[in-house]
Structure 1
Amino acid sequence: MNTHIDKRCKKYRPVDPTQKVLVKQPSVSGFGSSLGVSKFDQLRCRRALAEMLILDELPFRFVENRGFRRFCFELCPLFDLPSRRTIVRELYQLYIDEKMKLKKYFSRSKVRVCLTTDTWTSIQNINYMVVTAHFIDYDWQLQKRILSFSQIVDHKGDSIGKCIENVLIEWGIDKVFTITVDNATANTTAIGYVIKKLNSWQDDGAILGGKYLHVRCCAHILNLIVSDGLKDLHDSIVAIRNAVKFVKSSPSRLDRFKNAVAHEKIGTKGLVVLDVPTRWNSTYLMLESAVKLRKAFERLGEEDIHYVNYFRDDENEQKRIGPPNCDDWDNAKVFINFLATFYDITLDFSASLRVTSNIYFKSWCTIRNQLNLLTNEIDPLVSKIAVSMQQKFDKYWGGLEKTNNLLILAVVLDPRYKLGYVKFRFDSIYGVEESQSMISKLKGVLLDLYEWYTRFYGSSGGGAKETDDVFSFGVGGGLSDDLEFGRLKATDEEDSLW
């Protein structure tokens, strides 16, 4: 039959695989389309299917669903749908291709990266560690790539340091700007180990010999400060948490609460969320949502006997604190106003797709001023919490010697603030005399950085060369050979996945 169709049949004319057809092409933004020409490519279709599973977080067996296979057949009968085992191999090959592109970029561009790492233990008592790289490309775009997610033996400093060393060797990275970690003591040992290795690999492996390589996670420090202030939770928070637990404990109770919200005509569609007691930001969200629905809780107290009995004495259980009264709701408002600033700053610090180093000093000043005001608050509850937080703040961020000076210099290099803004803040916080000494130290750090960069890079003309377009990761059929020195070019066969 194949011989008849291919050679003898005069009525059947096979389609030229190189023939392009008129199709609608999606725009770059993903909305709308325009007319263009394209041709069917089995490999590109399979790679696009693999990327769909990644981007939409779909299971491998999705490709074998009857509905999806029927849809693909009607859409393009020429496409041979792979099985789940075949698509797994395609996904792994996609990972290998993208890894090779990134390694080639690191080796040719010699970009200096900032690393972020963290370790934790799963519920199966298995230790894990992740290493993420952030760097600025020559188009001044912030790039983020997860380099490693692996098991480690323990949380000791030597184990963490060796894991970071293996990641740097595997990816061909020998220039590191900073490493951001939490405040665990083991991380100090790990950073010291990495500094020693970077300095042994090459002279400019670490800035100023690694003096400012160690950056303590600002979001983690802020979490320690606020958590220390809230360690003795007020009964008002516990009472509101118990009320939320009652509402969230069963579907019937949640339905009765929704009816109460509807009868009170509360103009919000959101429902209460139960917090995690060890995470203060979730407690803030719980209080914020509960206060908005206060009238619904009060209606439950008037009409729902089960809600009232939930807080009464029980022979078998200890009496629960609650239900929340007027004083509890007023105290909740105080907590919300108190924590709002810290919650917003935590969100700013936690951003991963934009540069945050230049907002550190301004946020630091905001937190310090806020604590100074709250320690003198008339409300004894607020002042007690603020005093506890102030002590923790002084422990981690008390002065210039307790913070990485590069985070302050980021504000100096920001044209919106410069050194005058730092001097103004220091004058108002420490006084003019002490401020002059601190500004003098910052100028010394700036001078050291300038001399270090001049010694290693001054002979190249003082300017960075444009050597990359950064990335051509995507739907191509593999690693592109269309590479100039240090430049990864995006071609028609390789569109951007991200």
Structure 2
Amino acid sequence: MMQMASCGSHDMDMEEDDVSQTQQEDVPTPVPPPTSRNKGKRKERSSGTTSGSKKKKSARSWEFSVPTSNGTTNMKKLLQTCKFFQVWEAAGNFKDQNQTVLTPTGSDGTLSLRKVSESVVKEAPNELIVLAQLPLAFIEGIRWRHFCSKVLLPTPVCRKTSTKEIVKIYADRKATMKIILGKNKQRLSLTTDIWVAPYTVASYMVITAHFIDANFQLKKMIIGFKNVGDHKGGTIAQVLLDFLEEWDIKKIFCITVDNATANTSALRKFKAGFLLKNGADALVLKGDFLHLRCATHILNLIVKQGLMEVDDSISAIRNGIQYVRSSTPRLQSFEFRVESGKMSRGSLPLDVKTRWNSTYLMLDQALKFRSAFDKMKTNEKPYLDYFDEIVEGKKRIGPPTNCDWEVTERLAQFLDIFYNSTLVLSASKSVAAHKIYNEIVAITRMIYLIDEQAGDDNELKYKALSMLTKLKKYWNPFKDPVARGKDKNCEMNKLLIVASVFDPRKKMKFAQLCFEKLFGKDTIEYRVMYDSTLAILKRLFDEYSASASNSSSSSGTGNSQSQGVSSTQSQDQVRGEVLSKRTLANGVGYERMDNLFEELVKQSGIEESSNEVDLYLKEALDNPKLMKGTEYDVLSWWMRNSLKFPILSLIAKDILAIQVSSVASESAFSTSGRMLDPHRSCLTHYMIEVLMYTEQWLKCEIHFSEKGVSTIEQMLSHVELQDDLMREYEPEFHL
């Protein structure tokens, strides 16, 4: 027990010694008073550690790893003195929690500062769904969620929330569009088209307004997308009237529709109702030139008829291409025969049956490899066995014979003409009204030329005559009073000819040349066409001049500011008259030179409005030197010369805004009509309208240039790229 006590006392003594030693070590060393050496030195600040030890910081990142329980005062003071943070906070980023980044604003590569906010990130997926015509359930799908996780986007919202936000976008855009059209008091040109839902077979009528604004820029916006129960003329007319009343549109220049018979009846009823509701000024020239038939529809009808007449020959060639492209060994065998025939390499694309430009590409390429197909027919048994197979109860058509190749070659000559014209007329973001008559004359003369060069080829002559008859049915400049029923021709809207006069490079000279080539110089038809075109131009000028005079007089009496200006001008005029009649003290009178010049102008008639048309037609044709790849901008010319030709520039804005095609450029070559996306066809009528409205309005706001119709060269390059990729990534495929 004594030993244990002694041990315990010894331990306690040791602990007391340790404590005393620790206390001695913790006693701070007295700091000497400041001297001249350390007077200007900064005091050491607390490092924020848990104890009073002076641990040296090993790196700057240590400041950001201090536990928050030990204070962040030093960090706040550092932010207050940091110049970079002050600039960042001044830009509003600290409060809005946005990040300013350099972002391209358009296709020209211009950079601007933009803030990426959470609201923008939430809005972008909704716009993507609308623009890409994706299903509403896409926002909840694995594809979008995987994308968000890859790029570290916020968690996507549900379908219900996304649908509500899309409807809100629609409501906001519609209010904005009504304000824009409310401020714009000029005439509008309309296009109408019918869309069909593939599953419900419901029909929707779409109405698009086109106009040229004060900056001479072509604008378009959809103002109607509504379910229609039938395609009768009365129904179509009433839908048009209802939408124009909803958007408070009271002036129309022209309406472009397809060639359906119901549209002729519809526009006749619409014309009567619209004039009754809005007065005689609602339509130009009493609505005599209101109805314009869609040029793309007419071309597609002619092409469709030509394709139907040689459908078996096209099917034989299509089946031959399907055989070649169905497997790699078959393609190798075909290209071996191409090489043995010393032909150029290339690809054999397949067509989409409802898009005739792809059919034209397929036939054009197949004709280059005709000898290779002939060789396969003579020495490749699997090729012949392929055409002996039964498809849908019938033997497969083919292989292509010499007659099939000859028929196809004739057809390709015509398709080339219509293809080039469709590329010109299907432009939706640039004016094309001044180009259409050139295309009509070019097609007509080319068909005449093919007919003359056909010689003894009766098949080619028959095809040329068939297409020419179809062409004249819709674009005949003279109305046939004798023909009835299906043989009755539709008189061409002569505004298409007048529109070419508003091209400063052509004026009436181009129209005269076209009349001469079509009807012969100094013939009765030539004189009738020339006189009627000039008469329509002068009627337009007189009507717009009267309208401008009425609007200026009414605005002068209705606006107080205008009254002040008018009174000032009248005072100046009176003062000028007094000065002009002033006499000197000795009785000698004098006249001012500006008054003499005004009298000279009145006598010469230089500024008379009635001579504005004559002045424009007598001026030299505009002949600019354009760089290769650039297109003449007719709207820029009229904007520069709007002060010189004030009335004609107003007419130019309306007549050049005419859309010669009622279909979008991506559907210009389609022979199947407009079809709604299957994802949208099962939605309610209201939701379909919301999506279609919003899609078109968003496209109008996007500054990036949308790709138009793909040319034959572009389509072929895409096919060849796919073949090259197959050769590159398939090592077993060798040529």
Name 1:134's counterpart in structure 2.
Answer: 210
Secondary structure at the counterpart of residue 387 of structure 2:
coil
Name 1:161's counterpart in structure 2.
Answer: 237
Name 1:69's counterpart in structure 2.
Answer: 148
Work out which of the residue numbers 160, 163, 170 in structure 2 matches 1:95: 170
How far apart are 1:173 and its partner, in Å? Answer: 1.8
Name 1:214's counterpart in structure 2.
Answer: 291
CA displacement, residues 200-230 of structure 1 (integer Å, 9 cap, x when unaligned): 2323221122111100111222233344445
Where does 1:14-413 land on structure 2 (aligned, <5 Å)? Answer: 17-18=94-95, 23-29=100-106, 36=113, 39=115, 41-64=117-140, 65-71=144-150, 74=152, 81-119=156-194, 121-123=196-198, 124-203=200-279, 204-233=281-310, 236-246=313-323, 253-260=326-333, 262-263=335-336, 264=338, 270-276=347-353, 281-294=357-370, 297-298=373-374, 300-301=376-377, 304-312=380-388, 317-376=393-452, 377-378=454-455, 379-401=457-479, 402-413=491-502
Secondary structure at the counterpart of residue 148 of structure 1:
strand
CA contact (8 A) 1:22 1:35 kept: no
CA contact (8 A) 2:188 2:252 kept: yes
Identity %: 33
Secondary structure at the counterpart of residue 225 of structure 2:
strand
> Cα RMSD between the aligned structures?
3.5
Secondary structure at the counterpart of residue 354 of structure 1:
coil
Name 1:472's counterpart in structure 2.
Answer: none
CA contact (8 A) 2:97 2:117 kept: no
CA displacement, residues 134-185 of structure 1 (integer Å, 9 cap, x when unaligned): 2212222222223223221111100111111222122222221111111111
Secondary structure at the counterpart of residue 289 of structure 2:
coil
CA displacement, residues 417-471 of structure 1 (integer Å, 9 cap, x when unaligned): 1112111221232231321122111122112111211222234565689xxxxxx
2-structure distance, mates of 1:390, 1:184: 20
Cα 1:19–1:245 change in 2 (3 A) is closer
How far apart are 1:369 and its partner, in Å? Answer: 0.7
1-structure distance, mates of 2:137, 2:196: 30
Query: Quick one: which amino acid aligns to residue 439 of structure 1?
Result: Y
CA contact (8 A) 2:208 2:222 kept: yes
CA contact (8 A) 1:24 1:33 kept: no
Query: Quick one: which amino acid aligns to residue 125 of structure 1?
Result: V
Secondary structure at the counterpart of residue 101 of structure 2:
strand
How far apart are 1:302 and its partner, in Å? Answer: 5.4
Cα 1:305–1:448 change in 2 (3 A) is same
Cα 1:39–1:395 change in 2 (3 A) is closer
Tell me whether 321-330 or 152-161 shows the greater mean CA deviation: 321-330
Give the TM-score of the pair, scaled to structure 2: 0.56
Cα 1:293–1:144 change in 2 (3 A) is farther
Work out which of the residue numbers 444, 451, 454 in structure 1 matches 2:535: 444
CA contact (8 A) 1:374 1:386 kept: yes
1-structure distance, mates of 2:231, 2:398: 41
Which segments of 5 or more consecutive residues in structure 1 lack a partner in the other structure? 1-7, 466-494
How far apart are 1:408 and its partner, in Å? Answer: 0.6
Secondary structure at the counterpart of residue 309 of structure 2:
coil
1-structure distance, mates of 2:314, 2:398: 10
Secondary structure at the counterpart of residue 25 of structure 1:
strand
CA contact (8 A) 1:230 1:385 kept: no
Higher CA-based Rg: 2
Name 1:423's counterpart in structure 2.
Answer: 512
Cα 1:91–1:247 change in 2 (3 A) is farther
1-structure distance, mates of 2:291, 2:133: 35
Query: Quick one: which amino acid aligns to residue 412 of structure 1?
Result: V
How far apart are 1:407 and its partner, in Å? Answer: 0.7
CA contact (8 A) 1:42 1:80 kept: no
Query: Quick one: which amino acid aligns to residue 70 of structure 1?
Result: S
Corresponding pairs, count:
454
CA contact (8 A) 2:139 2:159 kept: yes
Secondary structure at the counterpart of residue 523 of structure 2:
helix
CA displacement, residues 307-361 of structure 1 (integer Å, 9 cap, x when unaligned): 2113348799554442124453344333212321122112322222221211111
2-structure distance, mates of 1:230, 1:497: 38
CA contact (8 A) 1:181 1:216 kept: yes
Secondary structure at the counterpart of residue 204 of structure 2:
strand
CA displacement, residues 19-70 of structure 1 (integer Å, 9 cap, x when unaligned): 677743212235868574x555333332234323334445444544443332
2-structure distance, mates of 1:427, 1:156: 41
1-structure distance, mates of 2:328, 2:245: 57
Cα 1:134–1:10 change in 2 (3 A) is same
CA contact (8 A) 1:111 1:175 kept: yes
Secondary structure at the counterpart of residue 208 of structure 2:
strand
Name 2:13's counterpart in structure 1.
Answer: none
2-structure distance, mates of 1:171, 1:420: 40
Cα 1:56–1:26 change in 2 (3 A) is farther
1-structure distance, mates of 2:241, 2:508: 36
Cα 1:275–1:27 change in 2 (3 A) is closer
How far apart are 1:382 and its partner, in Å? Answer: 1.3
CA contact (8 A) 1:270 1:289 kept: yes
2-structure distance, mates of 1:164, 1:259: 58
Name 1:481's counterpart in structure 2.
Answer: none
Cα 1:91–1:369 change in 2 (3 A) is same
How far apart are 1:194 and its partner, in Å? Answer: 1.7
Query: Quick one: which amino acid aligns to residue 433 of structure 1?
Result: T
Give the TM-score of the pair, scaled to structure 1: 0.80
Query: Quick one: which amino acid aligns to residue 208 of structure 2?
Result: T
Secondary structure at the counterpart of residue 435 of structure 2:
helix
2-structure distance, mates of 1:335, 1:162: 42
